[in-house]
Chain A
Amino acid sequence: MTSPWVKRLLLFPATAWMIVMLALPLLVVVVFSFGERGPAGGYVPAFTFDQYLNLPARLAAFRNTLVLAPVGTLLCLLAAYPLAYFLAVKVDPRWRTLLLVLIIVPFWTSILIRTYAWIFILGGQGIPRLLEFVGIEGVRLINTRFAVLTGIVYGYLPLMIFPIYVSLEKLDKRLLEAAADLGSSPAWAFRNITLPLSIPGIATGCMLVFILLMGEFLIPALLGGGKVFFVGNALVDLFLQSRNWAYGSAVAATLVIVMLVTVGLYMKLMRRAGAQRDDVSLF
């Protein structure tokens, strides 16, 4: 039906966009990462591995990202799954749309403002103050990993809920009856049927949250207060404060590589887990 020319025409806008907005800047970053910092900052062309050899200086940022991104993803999953299950399976369909809209409502306000709100909730006048009333003193929440993880779960929860909700919602309820008929208690039916069939949703949600978390900088900047920082914060610092573009580019390029490797490993793992189930498409 569709001629090859029409196909090419249809692909053109996206391809052009990807080349101009993604591939070219990435190439610039890679080129810059082999350069040097100019005397007044910025970039001076050169070919040196100095920037990469300097990476250990930013090890803490990588360590934080590689620990907190997976932990944050896992916490999101643990918080989102029961909620998505409740929405998809237990709730009266009449209320479902309303409840789904309520999940999106926070997005109508900027993440910046919402994260600021958490500064007050977790800060000295917030929860710690309340705890003082019941006699627990000296609790510090703000500028800790706990604060950053709280912000992460709060900010990314909807991204995890929706894919899981979709996979649970389309689950054929008769399969659960069939499982019950064959001797599965509700708990076993969940373990044997519902959970495996919602893996595509779990995988999609985890992927979304994890990839975005790897580049996160706002939440650690506001709730980590310079004590808990991600690679994203290091990049902001290098490009905007110390204007060391070459070193910043090396850090950025390394982050992309780390991300590719992690996501690649993850997909390989998921594919192996779903090896006997071709119907469970991971992407």
Chain B
Amino acid sequence: MQSNGASAVPVLTFRGVSKRFGDVVAARNLDLDVDEGEFLSFLGPSGCGKTTSLRMIAGFEQPSEGDVYLMGERVNGVPAYRRPVNMVFQHYALFPHLDVADNVSYGLRQRRPRPDADAIARRVEAMLEKVRLAGYARRKIWELSGGQQQRVALARALINEPALLLLDEPLAALDRKLRREMQIELQNLQRDLGITFVLVTHDQEEALSMSDRVCIMRDGAIVQIGSPRELYDRPLNRYVADFVGKSNFFAGTLVETGRERVIVSLAGTLRVPAVGGPSVAGMARGQGISLSVRPEQMVLSRDPRSLPADSAVKLEATVRNRIFLGEHTEYLLHETRLGEFLALAPRQTEISEPAFDTGESIHVSWSANAALVLSNE
């Protein structure tokens, strides 16, 4: 990876960027910096503005308000064909009338002055090798499998050595196993080439496993930007917690607010200590909140004495359903005051205690550190 030392200008900057299509606001007031060599993902459901954001970087759309900068240079109004970025399209958009080599070399052949044929051929060959398609140069596009087409699309973009590579749901059309392989391949390529990647996806697993940072969007706005771990451990609100991994949300009210530790009342009767998330800062006592507890933070046992001593809460619950997931077992539990919630038990706990059966009454606890208070947003 190359570094520019002190003059670290972000590769991409959004400053107050908004985009309207008629009455519809597709992106509102976006602020964002992406550093060189970074892998950033836009994550959100369809219609959240992530694709519009990507298209504004590529130059297919121009912002209604605000400024887009590439390497410190304002690029508002600069058409796509003059921008130093390249894109991998959702359904690849490979040229059907050109073979693999001609698709890959397209960008080089559009340069003026045009590189000579030998130089182009050499770079195409090297690029095809890099995406593990050596020997496929003269194949027709429609002769290739989905995964191979995906790699041609990657090669066609990467051969131009863009300052920024944009990926629009690049793996959505692949089956699960191939998608996993391509995720790893993409990460390796990104690390090898040191090119900044900006990925758009609605698949949280994909975003979390590949990116350095994830930008979670909703209704055209950025909700939270952070590393996958930050988003998972310290989600800003219920929306983020729900989007990043599975979580249980218990409705409650704020009883006591401290600097770190707060007390929450659940179902009116249950008082539990919890961690005040970033959103607690502006909250008053008595305010309605969501208490988020991840299923894997639940401790389960038949014997109440084997629950950790420092548990924030100890409950008795009935097993409603059990799903075997391989390395984990997922339980749907029911507690009289809290209703239904999920718990995840790792396989090794079954060594000391055999798996619980449906209908069985068991003891559940979680620690105060595992319970996060979130705004209801």
Contact = CB atoms under 8 A, between A and B. Distances in A.
Given A177-B60, A276-B99, A183 B93 contact: no
Given A172-B93, A197-B97, A277-B97, A182 B140 contact: no
Contacts of B59: 180
B87 to A, nearest CB: 5
Contact of B93 (A178, A196, A276): A178
Interface string B144-181: 00000000000011001000000000000000000000
Contacts of B156: 182
Given A278-B140, A279-B140, A180 B81 contact: yes
B341 interface: no
Interface in A148-201: 172, 174-175, 177-185, 188, 192-193, 196-197
B79 A180 contact: yes
Nearest to A280: B97
A174 B93 contact: yes
Contact of B110 (A183, A276, A277): A183
Contacts of B110: 182-184, 188
B106 interface: yes
B328 interface: no
B96 A180 contact: no
Of residues B85, B106, B156, B160, which shows the largest number of chain A Cβ atoms within 10 Å of its Cβ?
A: B106
Interface in A47-95: none
A276 B111 CA distance: 23
Nearest to A183: B110
A11 to B, nearest CB: 31
Given A177-B60, A177-B80, A276-B99, A182 B86 contact: yes
Contacts of A193: 95
Interface in A183-233: 183-185, 188, 192-193, 196-197
Contacts of B160: 182-183
Interface in B53-79: 58-60, 79
A46 B119 CA distance: 71
B324 interface: no
B302 interface: no
B21 to A, nearest CB: 16
B96 A181 contact: no
A175 B93 contact: yes
B138 to A, nearest CB: 9
B349 to A, nearest CB: 50
Contacts of A175: 93, 95-96
Of residues B59, B97, B160, which shows the largest number of chain A Cβ atoms within 10 Å of its Cβ?
A: B97
Count class of interface residues, chain B: 20 to 34
B89 A178 contact: yes
Contacts of B96: 175, 197, 279
Nearest to A277: B97
A279 B111 contact: no
Of residues A179, A180, A184, A277, which shows the largest number of chain B Cβ atoms within 10 Å of its Cβ?
A: A180
A243 B275 CA distance: 107
Given A174-B89, A278-B140, A279-B142, A180 B95 contact: no
A180 B93 CA distance: 12
Of residues B80, B86, B156, B157, which shows the largest number of chain A Cβ atoms within 10 Å of its Cβ?
A: B80
B91 interface: yes
Interface in B3-38: none
A174 B95 CA distance: 10
Interface string B93-126: 1111101000000110011000000000000000
A181 B95 contact: no
Given A174-B89, A174-B91, A279-B140, A180 B80 contact: yes
A181 B58 contact: yes
Contacts of B91: 174
Of residues A177, A182, A192, A197, which shows the largest number of chain B Cβ atoms within 10 Å of its Cβ?
A: A182
A279 B81 contact: no
Contacts of A182: 81, 86, 106-107, 110, 156-157, 160
A88 B96 CA distance: 19
A261 to B, nearest CB: 29
A174 B140 CA distance: 19
Contacts of A185: 79, 81
Contacts of B60: 177, 180-181
A184 B59 CA distance: 13
Contacts of A197: 96-97
Contacts of A180: 59-60, 79-81
Contact of A178 (B79, B85, B95, B97): B95
Interface string A256-279: 000000000000000000001111
Contacts of A179: 95, 106
Contacts of B79: 180, 185
20 contacts: A174-B89, A174-B91, A174-B93, A175-B95, A177-B89, A178-B89, A178-B94, A179-B106, A180-B59, A180-B79, A181-B80, A181-B87, A181-B157, A184-B81, A184-B110, A193-B95, A276-B99, A277-B97, A279-B140, A279-B142
The 5 tightest CB contacts between A and B, nearest first, are A183-B110, A182-B107, A178-B93, A180-B80, A174-B93
Interface of A: 172, 174-175, 177-185, 188, 192-193, 196-197, 276-280
Given A174-B93, A181-B58, A279-B140, 7 more contacts: A172-B93, A179-B95, A180-B81, A181-B60, A181-B86, A188-B110, A192-B106
